[in-house]
């Protein structure tokens, strides 16, 4: 009986020891878990919201990646869209935005300044091209002199973006009007613009899937986007492609109408060299971080190096009508008029 009692006592003590050990382990685990949660809160990433033109998607994705490497506590949230649509997200929908980059700097001037932004920096350029691939109908025939006639063929379909949403859209219209003037073919612009309107899309990059699926054969598109997606493109005459600043007076001889700030309002867009603009809206939730990101974009050996590698030449520094209102740390990227 004595041996049996001792054995039972030994078993009970072992059970108590195991329970105690389990309790200690549980307390330790709970403590570590809470400590980890506390650490996670400490390193919670700041989010930077960037609205940008669709044509900036490829370079901005890489720029954001490099910026996050230098700033591991930051997550850059990129929202590509037509530049005018990006602006309307701020003006009409009142969406928060830290940085806004437009394919046409005048979108910022006309739609955001002075109510929603104070300043604008011109930072990159581009040019209009006709983009296609090997499977495009009449791809072996098209050249810089006959592209108008190729696009008008019944067996050929082409796409362009919406002029009211995207600068590439109204630039396509202006390109056609400049072509009419350059080739002295009265009425030809209206004929081109009246064709294939069922292939108009909100932004130029929306058209790429239609090209890849052979739904359309050609796109009015920026040269940089064509290069980024390894597509073939037709280089147009400088008098047509909106590329050269020195031809600004000639480009301005053509115009088109697009929607304005208010419902039912129309504004006139004249031909002009392609110039991208960037700003920080007044409602930026992370203003200081936004300044840091814009500085990263505009630095020659950082963001602008990536921009140029992706086919978009730098214009930094360029003159700015809003120079005095540009943050001091960013003034070096602009010039006072």
Give the pLDDT mean for 222-233.
Answer: 95
246 and 326 within one domain: no
Model confidence over 121-170: pLDDT tens digits? 999 999 999 999 999 999 999 999 999 999 999 999 999 999 999 999 99
- Does the pLDDT value for residue 30 go beyond 70? no
Nearest to 218 by CA among 159, 284, 146, 294: 159
Which single residue is written with the structure tokens 């129309």? 266
Which of residues 238, 270, 302 is at a domain's end? 270
251 and 197 within one domain: yes
Which of residues 270, 302, 319 is at a domain's end? 270
Model confidence over 160-194: pLDDT tens digits? 999 999 999 999 999 999 999 999 999 999 999 99
**Quick one: pLDDT at residue 27?**
62
Question: Quick check: is 23 in a domain?
Answer: no
| pLDDT tier, 72 (very low <50, low <70, confident <90, very high otherwise) | very high
| pLDDT tier, 18 (very low <50, low <70, confident <90, very high otherwise) | low
If one counts every other C-beta atom within 10 angstroms of the C-beta of residue 266, the result is: 10
Question: Quick check: is 35 in a domain?
Answer: no
- The pair of structure tokens assigned to 306 is 């990536």
Give the pLDDT mean for 7-15.
Answer: 57
Give the pLDDT mean for 322-335.
Answer: 97
| pLDDT tier, 24 (very low <50, low <70, confident <90, very high otherwise) | low
% of residues, the chain, pLDDT over 70? 87
CA distance 246 to 280: 29
- More confident of the two residues 37 and 297: 297
223 and 301 within one domain: no
If one counts every other C-beta atom within 10 angstroms of the C-beta of residue 67, the result is: 20
- Share the mean pLDDT of the chain: 91
141 and 262 within one domain: yes
Model confidence over 78-126: pLDDT tens digits? 999 999 999 999 999 999 999 999 999 999 999 999 999 999 999 999 9
Question: Quick check: is 141 in a domain?
Answer: yes
- The pair of structure tokens assigned to 142 is 């098209």
CA distance 335 to 236: 31
- Does the pLDDT value for residue 28 go beyond 90? no
Question: Quick check: is 99 in a domain?
Answer: yes
Quote the distance between the C-alpha of residue 98 and its chain's center. Answer: 13
Give the pLDDT mean for 198-208.
Answer: 91
Residue 216 sits in which domain range?
Answer: 128-270
183 and 57 within one domain: no
Provide the domain count of the chain.
Answer: 2
Give the pLDDT mean for 330-335.
Answer: 97
CATH code (residue 181): 3.40.190.10
42 CB-near residues (< 8 Å, 6+ apart): none
- Does the pLDDT value for residue 337 go beyond 60? yes
């Amino acid at each position: 009986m004595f041996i049996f009692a001792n054995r039972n006592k030994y078993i009970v003590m072992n059970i108590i020891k195991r329970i105690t050990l389990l309790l200690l382990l549980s307390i330790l685990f709970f403590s570590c878990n809470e400590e980890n949660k506390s650490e996670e809160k400490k390193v919670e990433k700041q989010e930077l919201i960037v609205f940008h033109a669709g044509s900036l998607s490829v370079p901005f994705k890489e720029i954001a990646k490099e910026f996050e490497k230098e700033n591991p506590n930051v997550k850059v949230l990129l929202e590509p869209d037509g530049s005018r649509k990006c602006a309307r997200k701020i003006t009409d929908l009142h969406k928060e935005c830290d940085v806004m980059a437009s394919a046409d700097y005048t979108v910022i001037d006309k739609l955001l300044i002075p109510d929603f932004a104070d300043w604008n920096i011109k930072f990159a350029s581009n040019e209009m091209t006709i983009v296609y691939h090997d499977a495009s109908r009449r791809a072996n025939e098209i050249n810089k002199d006959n592209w108008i006639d190729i696009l008008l063929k019944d067996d050929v379909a082409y796409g362009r973006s919406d002029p009211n949403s995207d600068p590439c859209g109204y630039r396509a219209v202006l390109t056609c009007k400049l072509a009419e003037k350059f080739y002295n073919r009265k009425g030809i612009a209206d004929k081109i613009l009246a064709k294939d309107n069922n292939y108009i899309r909100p932004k130029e990059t929306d058209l790429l899937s239609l090209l890849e699926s052979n739904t359309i054969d050609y796109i009015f598109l920026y040269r940089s986007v064509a290069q980024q997606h390894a597509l073939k493109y037709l280089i147009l005459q400088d008098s047509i492609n909106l590329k050269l600043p020195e031809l600004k007076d000639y480009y301005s001889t053509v115009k088109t109408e697009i929607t304005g700030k208010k419902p039912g309002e129309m504004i006139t867009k004249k031909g002009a060299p392609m110039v991208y603009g960037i700003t920080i809206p007044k409602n930026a939730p992370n203003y200081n971080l936004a300044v840091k990101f814009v500085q990263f974009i505009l630095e020659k050996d950082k963001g602008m190096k990536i921009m140029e590698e992706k086919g978009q030449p730098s214009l930094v520094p360029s003159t700015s009508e809003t120079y005095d209102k540009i943050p001091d740390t960013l003034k070096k990227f602009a010039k006072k008029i």
